[in-house]
Amino acid sequence: MVVLGVIPIFTFYLGTWQVQRLKWKVALIDELEEKLQREPIPLPKRINISVLPEFTYRKVLLRGRWDPEHSILLGPRVREGATGYHLVTPLVRQDGTTVLVDRGFVSKEFAEQAKAAQAQDGEVEVLGMLRTTQARNNFTPDNHPERGEWYWADVEAMAEYAGGERANVQPVFIEEIFEGHSGDASWRQAHGVPIGRPPIVDLRNSHLSYVITWYSLSAFTSLMFLRLLLKHRRARARLPRV
């Protein structure tokens, strides 16, 4: 009975904590969406890595040439039922510095073709958004660069694979933006052309469901505790008095 009395208090606390988390997540999404609405900025020659998190989701413009020899197939990934990879390729910029660009999804059967085709592109202009190293969950395997196996975007390791500081490769990760419609995306997928990401904030926000769950559990266990308490009191009232 004591345990049942503690459960409503504990679950109410968890619900209140999730309310605070919900407010924080909504504010964060609003902040990132506001960043996305700003005009693209040219990516500077030298980037202060320590301030990159402040510019996450900012649109950037850059020019350069692809380095297909150091392309990375990140995955596997799935897009609309098709299995494939995200094609990450270093972009050698006009000033000699190099950054990493996630060009987007390519189907498995076109992956090697897409890597090779970049050599023919010449100088390109890229519109993308700044990102940082992706969070890795407990089920994601380790990357094995020596075998060409990349399961998650470890920006530092990718930059080192592409040549590192000795090749003037900066650990800067940019996701190329694709603003076409579904027909354009279907054509790209059928021809092995990478499909970039849409310019949207894709942060998951499930805190509201947690709020509802914990508060509901708190209310339910409170009713159970009250019923048990009343039942116990009635049982005691029926006992013969000495």
Q: What is the DSSP string of 146-189?
A: GGTBB-S--HHHHHHHTTTGGGTEEEEEEEEB----HHHHHHHH
| CA-to-CA dists, residue 127 to 64, 124, 232, angstroms | 12, 10, 69
> How high is the pLDDT of residue 240?
63
> How high is the pLDDT of residue 116?
86
Summarize the confidence of residues 106-123 as an average pLDDT.
88
Among candidate residues 209, 218, 169, the one with its CA nearest the CA of residue 4: 218
DSSP conformational letter for 222: H
> How high is the pLDDT of residue 54?
86
Six token digits for residue 108 = 């498995």
Summarize the confidence of residues 75-88 as an average pLDDT.
94
Among candidate residues 188, 36, 227, the one with its CA nearest the CA of residue 105: 188
Q: Is the pLDDT of residue 2 over 80?
A: no
| CA-to-CA dists, residue 12 to 26, 170, 181, 211, angstroms | 21, 47, 45, 9
pLDDT tens-digit map of 175-217: 999 998 899 999 999 999 999 999 888 877 888 898 999 999 9
pLDDT tens-digit map of 5-19: 788 889 999 999 999
Q: What is the mean pLDDT of the chain?
A: 89
Q: Is the pLDDT of residue 102 over 60?
A: yes
> How high is the pLDDT of residue 194?
95
Q: Is the pLDDT of residue 95 over 80?
A: yes
> How high is the pLDDT of residue 127?
96
Q: Count CB-CB contacts under 10 A for residue 65.
A: 17
Backbone angles phi, psi at 29, to 5 degrees: -60, -40
Six token digits for residue 183 = 């027909």
Q: How far apart are CA 222 and CA 233, in angstroms?
A: 16
194 upstream amide cis, omega within 30 of 0? no
Q: How far apart are CA 91 and CA 67, in angstroms?
A: 6
Three-state DSSP at 84 gives strand
Summarize the confidence of residues 91-110 as an average pLDDT.
94
> How high is the pLDDT of residue 239?
62
